[in-house]
Chain A
Amino acid sequence: MEFWLPIIYVAIMGLALLIYVVLDGYDLGVGLLLPAADEWEKDIMIASIGPFWDANETWIVLGVGVLLIAFPMAHGAILTALYIPVTLMLMGLILRGVAFDLRVKAGDHRKQLWNRAFFLGSLVAAVSQGWMLGAYVTGLRGDLTSHLFALLIGLTLPAFYLLLGSTWLLMKTEGALFDKALRWARWSVLPTGLGLLAVSVATPIASGAIAAKWFTLPNFIGLLPIPVSCLVLYAGIVWLLRRDNWLREGYSWVIFVAIVLICLMASLGLAYSIYPDIIIGEMTIWEASASVSSLLFTLVGIVITLPAILFYTIYVYRVFRGKATELSYD
């Protein structure tokens, strides 16, 4: 138990954060695209994420919650070290979250202001999340290399969210907005690819511990499927984005799935690179872990509620399936 529980929890935490990056990723991406759309399109774009964003955001609360439940020793150390990006991200999420409601409830003369707040909040949240990830992967060192690396991910993640967001819009919109979304997707696919490539190259440079793990045999061969499958998926995405008619027939979800798979592969790579540490080079998951009694008590709840959560999440997505229409509170 003492051996397995931390592993189970780190897996649950990884899953929650992966789901968060995909789900809140697409709605933050839509937020980033907002300035490029006209007034009417903005309403549709926000309507396409309106029923989901709240639950999407809850996954990060679960992710950080599991960190807190299972690894209280690391929770404090990680979040203290990430104090500034975390604070900025929170402010961004606050601004974005309230803008959802206030842009339609504070009166038409304020709508412009709240649309800007929506964009700004999404941007700040996305960049800070990249910054946090970058700082975390380099072991929370706070030196120049790790700052540069954090900056690189801080730029890559928003690009990735842009691609996710525009692909989401391909699935949820039609007509002129669909055409725009297609342009946005084609435009964002290159920076996303370059960013991911740069991050892959920079990771072993920024972290000696990770370089040691990657470039030894047989690890190197074992890990090879990850970059190879990412390359294939990426090429597939680029190719599919050229097939206008096919996308118009409603197959844009294939691209979304491909992006999710890239995300999954990257997470597996990351998980492999970090395991069994919770703070690279400082603390293992066992050293950081809470007591067995506390972990078991919560695990019972997770085993019961997580399937239920997944079930009704899917239910909600089914209820709001299809193209988005303008949402009205009336």
Chain B
Amino acid sequence: MEFDAFVLARMQFAANITFHILFPSISIGLAWVLFYFRARFTLSGDRAWEYAYYFWVKVFALTFAMGVVSGITMSFQFGTNWPGFMERAGNVAGPLLGYEVLTAFFLEASFLGIMLFGKDRVSNRMHLIASFLVAFGTLLSAFWILSLNSWMQTPSGFSMENGRVMVDSWWAVIFNPSFPYRFIHMTLASFLTTAFLITGVSAWRRRKKVDGPATWNVMKTGIVIAAVLAPVQILVGDIHGLNTLEHQPAKIAAMEAIWETEKGASFTVFGLPDEESRETRFALKIPYAASWILTHELDGEVRGLSEFVDHPPVGWVFWSFRVMLAVGSLMLLVSWWAAWHVWRDRAPGPALLWALSWMTFSGWVAVVAGWYVTEIGRQPWVVDGVLRTADVVADHASATLTGTLLGYVALYVFLLMAYIGALRYLASKPAASLVIKQQPIVSQQQGTEGAH
């Protein structure tokens, strides 16, 4: 691959969006989990739920801040690196992004302050409402941005005038063909990421013997979410795949590395797709499986890559897809293994705790791999069939792009280490619940004046 300005600009965007998506994929799910903890405390008065809330709200604040600052970068990068996209598709992209800012960003950012620092300044009910509004804001945000992303995958409701996109129907733009599937798939992904995060950290705390009464509550919540949603996600993923087959068959052909159109196509479990010789080397195949998965018929016809003039780079899409499938399957296995313990009301053994703590960031791997499938799978288009990525890139010097790319990557690696380090540090502190439990509520409030 030649590192020209175009490739560098794409790498920069990929670096930014890869880093960015890590945090929303936690904060969407975690916001609702926090609301659940807060509501459980309000309803039952059980302090364990409150401690769970105050532990995880710290993680949420950190995650949210990382998401905000990396998200601002994205909003500027549309202009700095991809001006052609806004010039030509701005009539769609602008309003959708605008609605995200107006309906979601301000809501989340404003009520987050109350959620984090306001418990002594507002009523319990208002605090609960603030937690709800923040959670609701994260979903709204996902709604708008995924609507735009889906429109770029399956554009509808527009016509072209002088090379610019003109909207004919906002309804058709927002609820474009792939949007409902992508929205549900991503929301579930966020809940699964969160479930494995909170379960993993709790398992780790238990292994390090710094857990408290809240830890098991958190773990159970995470396990139940994961065990219920993992199979649902697999089903939704399958339906999403069928939608992609209908609208972006080239992406599916790349995901499965099917070079020629065939009936009764087999599913390649492993292999090295080679675009030059147009074959998959060392392929390990399950006969008829691809046809069955995609058409739900053993001898269904699947269109091959040779049918498409433009198709995405096969290796990346093929492998990202397999990584996502593998992590998803692992999530199903581990969550059901853990759920069996919850069902039987048994304490998890060392092996399970070990497995769960190793799965802490499994959601990240699956989410990033999944986005690579869908985003790289859209190439060479930025808006499928309408605008080519190469036609919208800004004309910057390669040296400038290399410099800023290195800067961003260094910053992101550093921040990711800091994030995980902070999480580890917070998790390794003995459970606050054990320490504060004996104190009456009043002294805690007075304590905020001088306490460090």
Contacts and interface: CB of A to CB of B under 8 A. Distances in A.
A28 to B, nearest CB: 14
Contact of B91 (A50, A66, A293, A312): A293
A8 interface: no
Interface stretch (A54-62, A157-165, A204-212, A247-255): A54-62
B418 A80 contact: no
Contacts of B408: 91
Contacts of B68: 54, 57, 97
Nearest to B412: A94
Contact of B76 (A64, A66, A98, A316): A64
B30 interface: no
Interface stretch (A192-200, A222-230, A265-273, A294-302): A294-302
A320 interface: yes
Given A50-B117, A72-B94, A97-B68, 7 more contacts: A68-B75, A80-B80, A100-B65, A102-B419, A291-B166, A301-B99, A329-B117
Contact of A91 (B92, B407, B418): B407
Interface string B85-102: 011001111110111011
Interface string B411-452: 100010011011001100000100010000000000011011
Interface of B: 54, 57-58, 61-62, 64-66, 68-73, 75-76, 78-80, 82-84, 86-87, 90-95, 97-99, 101-103, 105-114, 116-118, 121-122, 164, 166-167, 170, 394-396, 400, 404, 407-408, 411, 415, 418-419, 421-422, 425-426, 432, 436, 448-449, 451-452
B409 to A, nearest CB: 12
Interface in A298-330: 298, 301-302, 305-306, 309, 312-313, 315-316, 319-320, 325-330
26 contacts: A54-B64, A61-B71, A62-B102, A62-B105, A64-B75, A65-B75, A68-B75, A68-B90, A69-B98, A72-B87, A75-B86, A83-B394, A94-B72, A98-B419, A101-B58, A105-B426, A291-B91, A293-B167, A294-B91, A309-B106, A325-B448, A326-B449, A326-B451, A328-B448, A328-B451, A330-B432
Contacts, number: 237
The 10 closest A-B pairs by CB, nearest first: A76-B83, A72-B90, A79-B79, A51-B113, A69-B94, A97-B69, A54-B109, A55-B109, A305-B102, A294-B91
A107 interface: yes
A329 to B, nearest CB: 5
Contact of A70 (B69, B94, B122, B432): B94
**Centre residue among A54, A62, A293, A302 by max chain B CB count within 10 A:** A54
Contact of A72 (B91, B114, B166, B448): B91
Contact of B69 (A83, A93, A326): A93
A98 B72 contact: no
A78 B78 CA distance: 12
Contacts of A54: 64-65, 68, 108-110, 112-113
Contacts of B452: 326
A278 to B, nearest CB: 13
Contact of A61 (B61, B72, B118): B72
A306 B105 CA distance: 12
Given A54-B65, A65-B75, A80 B91 contact: no
Interface residues of A, number: 67
B105 A294 contact: no
Contacts of A327: 116-117
Contacts of B62: 98, 101-102, 105
A213 B54 CA distance: 57
B102 A309 contact: yes
A178 interface: no
Nearest to A313: B110
Contact of B80 (A82, A312, A315): A82
B102 A86 contact: no
Contact of A80 (B83, B102, B106, B448): B83
A65 B117 contact: no
A127 interface: no
A219 interface: no
Nearest to B85: A76
A52 interface: yes
Contacts of A98: 62, 65-66, 69, 415, 418-419
